[in-house]
Structure 1
Amino acid sequence: MDSIIPGLIDDLGRECLIRVPFYELPTATSVCRNWKYEISVPEFIRHRKAAGVVRPIIVLAQAQYEGPIQNSESDPAVKEHPSRPTYQLSVAEPKAGVWAHLPPIPGHHEGLPMFCGLIGSGSDLVVVGGWDPVTWKASNDVFMYSFLYGGWRKGADMSGVRRSFFGCAASDDDRTVLVAGGHDEDKNALSSAMLYYVEEDKWVSLPDMCRPRDECKVVFHRGKFHVISGYPTDMQGCFQRSAEVFDWSTWQWGPVIEEFLEEGSSPGLCVAGPDGRMYSCIGRRSSDVAVYQGDKWQVVAEVPADVRSSQWLGSCGDKLVVIGSPKFGEAHSGYMLDLKNYKWTKLEMPTKFSRHVQCGFVLEL
């Protein structure tokens, strides 16, 4: 086999490859077979981490207004939505100040599925379910984008009923995704849950949760999946404060934690922090960042006033990142919170990346 880089021993060649910026990795894999092989093996990401060259990458589903959709006479399922926003995927490396858009999912030129699940697993982005942006019909589709190769592939369809507004999250290291709750096509809240094994492209059903949970939030925290809040069918929109935790060792759900959330808090703003603790935005208009200590939420910082509406909260490197707007419908901006001193710094966001954030996640590459 030829050397990785002519004139260099292979150890030095690998040291060069692991320092390629994430947005240039697809180009590097297309240079030659040797580079494609070196970048594709699991050790590549481990070597990047060991060398300290991995960077947190923010992936967002952001609105892009495209005007009204004309009603189709040939397909009665197509509806007219005069001010429908479409969504596309944005990626950012905050430290380098790099922002870009990912290519659309093949066959989905009308935009990203609305209300889809967006998860990072290894070096892959996983898109689960969501609504067709034209017909507004729920889908069980699964698509994966490889940040190493720069391309999409189709995964096995999500098993079971077509569900909407479910919660989902990925485990830290074994490339497993949990999908839980949501509602079916008759708007019945669901208590069912399932695991998706990304590398095996396989779905496995789990025991039902203790309660149905529509619009719940799933967080992977300290080795366990936490399903937070949601509501049953007969209490639509009345978010519960309880949570359930899935125990891998017993393959069962633990006892319901009845008062996990603060009164009036949004479950969508719960996130596992880089320091091993869980954080959320609580209070009126989610104006405070709080950490979960023992069985209570303790406020550690005040959220900047210009990001208190339509918020998204994520864990980015050793910081938290919050993106939002001053008021509904206005341009979005972002801030990073240093968890050592609880000081905010502005996140530089180009104007064309300042639209509404529907969901997002952070992975390290």
Structure 2
Amino acid sequence: MLEDRSVDSCLLSRVFSSSCLSESKWSFMYPGGDSDSKLVNGKRPLEVVEDSLTRNKSLRLTGYSIAEEKEKYDSDKNQSEAVGEEQIDDASVGDSSETSTGQGEEQLDSNSDGSDSSDSHSLIQGIGRDNSINCLIHCSRSDYGSIASLNRTFRSLVRSGEIYRLRRQSGFVEHWVYFSCQLLEWVAFDPVSRKWMQLPTMPSSVIFMCSDKESLAVGTDLLVFGKDDSSHVIYRYSLLTNSWSSGMRMNSPRCLFGSASLGEIAIFAGGCDSYGKILDSAEMYNSEHQTWTTLPRMNKPRKMCSGVFMDGKFYVIGGIGGSDSKPLTCGEEYDMETKKWTEIPDMSPPRSNAARESEMPPAAEAPPLVAVVNNELYAADHADMEVRKYDKERRKWFTVGRLPERADSVNGWGMAFRACGERLIVIGGPKNSGGGFIELNSWIPSNGPPHWTLLDRKHSANFVYNCAVMGC
């Protein structure tokens, strides 16, 4: 997280404008696109859902001024438009033409570097490439749109994903919350700057639009799983290109799985196939290579389960299994070094008193609402409105306090309980369709009971359909 930024990050943030500038201000990263409100080939700049943005004054760093570079960019852009719109289109991100991409990058270079190409190699002139990158990885993600506008090297550093890999290697990660309260619409929320960003509308068929969906963020990708006709499909949103595309198909397509991500990898365990068979198989996804790898089978098949990473291992928790489709109280641990599954009894959070008394069918409840912060496992009891913590030594759950009042749900559906860096995030909305607010509350776990902080609230006619946290 970015609560405590270094001197480097403060310096760069002042140069590359305020961190209040959202990642959505990527007009320079995607040159040639001046139709902010239109989706072109499934791509458009993220929109900030705010009435106004505040900017810091541009300052000089070793003689480098963004204000001057922006003025150069606007001047060159006007000249380019006078020549013809084709040159602008050629510079668009996502153009498959190698020549076109080269033209766009040369145009960016001319806007930023003038006749001096040495700055392209040093990034920030006068301090060298290594020091430049060290500064950049400490900047907020929301500054990267401005950074990408400076020259081809800056743009490549961001667009290729290299800057995010370097951040991950340095242990510097920002966590943003992505969630959907409308069928094909997603928004992103930065809990540090408390800014909202609108993602492009998902492309899909009517069947996918109306189907149940599952989601997970891994690396710089947001994956959304659903059904199209009788087959399972995946749509992938890329932070690097700000666009949706079809994702790579699983080796064994499934739904109702347990999943979690760790850096650029994610594990998906259990679930159901297209015929409703409960699975004991698992797969690993690599977001950098967009590949699926089949893992060893679990000890028990299960569906409607949850997944987390804790202490470097993957855990699948709870769910429904067996021929009689009864709730599973056990979990399973997958060791990525030994490639073995180990069953752990009583790892699933116990059902609430209200659920047991009502004799609610297990399939009517949401999968376990669990999250891991600082390698500690927490669970939300939607019925009793309580937060529980798992004692790894005694292998028991105990209550630590209450959920926020606004954490409404229907049997656990419609409420998001997620780890967001060092925070626990709870997103709750109206129980019934027709209007109201959703609220984002956070708590940084400590020794005492939860003290929830209201981060923001947002008008919504629906509850939360899907939610994922992207850390990069």
Q: With structure 1 as the length reference, what TM-score do the two structures score?
A: 0.78
2:468 aligned residue (348, 361, 364):
361
What does 1:82-101 align with in structure 2 at a 5 Å threshold?
86-101=183-198
Q: Which residue is 2:250 aligned to? A: 158
Amino acid at match of 2:456: E
* 1:3 equivalenced with 2:127 (yes/no): no
Asked if 2 retains the 8 angstrom alpha-carbon contact of 1:26 and 1:147, the reply is no
Residue by residue over 1:38-93, the C-alpha shift from the partner in whole angstroms, topping out at 9 and shown as x without a partner, is 32566623665799985321111x232xxxxxxxxxxxxxxxxxxxxx24221001
1:209 aligned residue (283, 291, 298):
298
- TM-fit CA distance, 1:289: 0.8
For the aligned residues, what is the CA RMSD? 3.1
* 1:245 equivalenced with 2:349 (yes/no): no
Provide the secondary structure at the position in 2 that maps to 1:306: coil
Q: Distance in 1 between matches of 2:210 and 2:260?
A: 17
Q: Distance in 1 between matches of 2:378 and 2:445?
A: 11
1:180 aligned residue (269, 282, 303):
269
Provide the secondary structure at the position in 2 that maps to 1:45: helix
Provide the secondary structure at the position in 1 that maps to 2:368: helix
- TM-fit CA distance, 1:279: 0.5
Q: Which residue is 1:263 aligned to? A: 350
Q: Which residue is 2:141 aligned to? A: 22
- TM-fit CA distance, 1:197: 2.1
Q: Which residue is 1:339 aligned to? A: 445
Provide the secondary structure at the position in 2 that maps to 1:130: strand
1:139 aligned residue (227, 232, 241):
232
Asked if 1 retains the 8 angstrom alpha-carbon contact of 2:184 and 2:201, the reply is no
Asked if 2 retains the 8 angstrom alpha-carbon contact of 1:25 and 1:148, the reply is no
Q: Distance in 2 between matches of 1:146 and 1:188?
A: 31
Distance 1:114 1:13, change over 3 A: farther
Distance 1:44 1:209, change over 3 A: same
Asked if 2 retains the 8 angstrom alpha-carbon contact of 1:170 and 1:177, the reply is yes
User: Structure 2 stretches of 5 or more lacking a match?
Assistant: 1-116, 353-365
Q: Distance in 1 between matches of 2:134 and 2:309?
A: 32
Look at both structures and tell me which one has the larger radius of gyration over its CA atoms.
2
Q: Which residue is 2:177 aligned to? A: 58
Q: Which residue is 2:458 aligned to? A: 350
Distance 1:47 1:200, change over 3 A: closer
Provide the secondary structure at the position in 2 that maps to 1:268: coil
Q: Percent identity?
A: 26
Number of residue-to-residue matches in the alignment: 330
Q: Distance in 2 between matches of 1:112 and 1:94?
A: 28
Provide the secondary structure at the position in 2 that maps to 1:278: strand
Q: Which residue is 1:280 aligned to? A: 379
Provide the secondary structure at the position in 1 that maps to 2:349: coil
Asked if 2 retains the 8 angstrom alpha-carbon contact of 1:285 and 1:308, the reply is no
Q: Distance in 2 between matches of 1:333 and 1:202?
A: 36
Q: Distance in 2 between matches of 1:219 and 1:113?
A: 28
- TM-fit CA distance, 1:9: 3.7
Provide the secondary structure at the position in 1 that maps to 2:119: coil
Structure (1 or 2) with the greater helix fraction: 2
Distance 1:326 1:301, change over 3 A: farther
Distance 1:332 1:234, change over 3 A: farther
2:390 aligned residue (292, 302, 311):
292
1:314 aligned residue (380, 396, 418):
418
- TM-fit CA distance, 1:235: 3.4
Amino acid at match of 1:304: P
Residue by residue over 1:329-363, the C-alpha shift from the partner in whole angstroms, topping out at 9 and shown as x without a partner, is 464322111313531111212214x7322232223
Amino acid at match of 2:400: V
Q: Distance in 1 between matches of 2:350 and 2:140?
A: 43
Distance 1:147 1:210, change over 3 A: same
Structure (1 or 2) with the greater strand fraction: 1
- TM-fit CA distance, 1:18: 4.3
